[in-house]
Amino acid sequence: MKLKKGDLIIIVILVAALISWLVINNPGKPEDERLIVIETNGDIYKEIPVETGMEQQEIHIQFENGKYIDIIVDENGAYVKDVICPDKVCQKTGLVSRVGQSIVCLPNRVVVYIEGRAESEIDGISF
């Protein structure tokens, strides 16, 4: 069986499509890779990759006015352990563990959120 010119064109297109798909989807990178990002005053304070078996970390952020916030980070996600602010909504938020979830402390201008490759359950209509 001899390949024709059209067969070669189809093979080249399929190989190019496969290579493009591999570059875009990067199968070597795990889908559940997550990153916990802590921002203060709109600037990134710390980024922590979430890994299986990682030890629990306590991040203490002290502010100039004597206020502070203690954030606990482990393989399950992040939560606010203690905070000095009037209503403590950020502490009541609880554990955030999925991509797209966040904790916001408005009085202290702190945001903790999860980034990653996994699809977020939040869609455009939820906002």
* Whole-number pLDDT of residue 99: 87
Which residue range(s) make up the domain with 78? 34-116
* Whole-number pLDDT of residue 125: 60
Q: Does residue 67 lie within any of the structural domains?
A: yes
Q: Does residue 125 lie within any of the structural domains?
A: no
Q: Considering its fold, how many domains does the chain have in total?
A: 1
Q: Does residue 53 lie within any of the structural domains?
A: yes
Distance CA 111, CA 37 (A): 8
Three-state secondary structure call for residue 30: coil
CATH number of the CATH domain containing 101: 2.60.320.10
CB 100 within 8 A of CB 80: no
Q: Does residue 9 lie within any of the structural domains?
A: no
Q: Does residue 12 lie within any of the structural domains?
A: no
* Whole-number pLDDT of residue 31: 52
* Whole-number pLDDT of residue 51: 85
Q: Does residue 3 lie within any of the structural domains?
A: no
Q: Does residue 17 lie within any of the structural domains?
A: no
pTM: 0.67
Q: Which residues of 71-95 are buried (b: 16+ CB within 10 A; e: fewer)?
A: bbbbeebbbbeebbbeeeebbebee
Q: Does residue 82 lie within any of the structural domains?
A: yes
* Whole-number pLDDT of residue 124: 60
Would you write out the chain's pLDDT as a tens digit for each of its 127 residues? 687 888 889 999 999 998 888 777 665 555 568 899 999 988 999 999 888 888 999 999 999 888 999 999 998 899 999 999 888 898 999 999 888 899 999 988 999 999 887 665 555 665 5
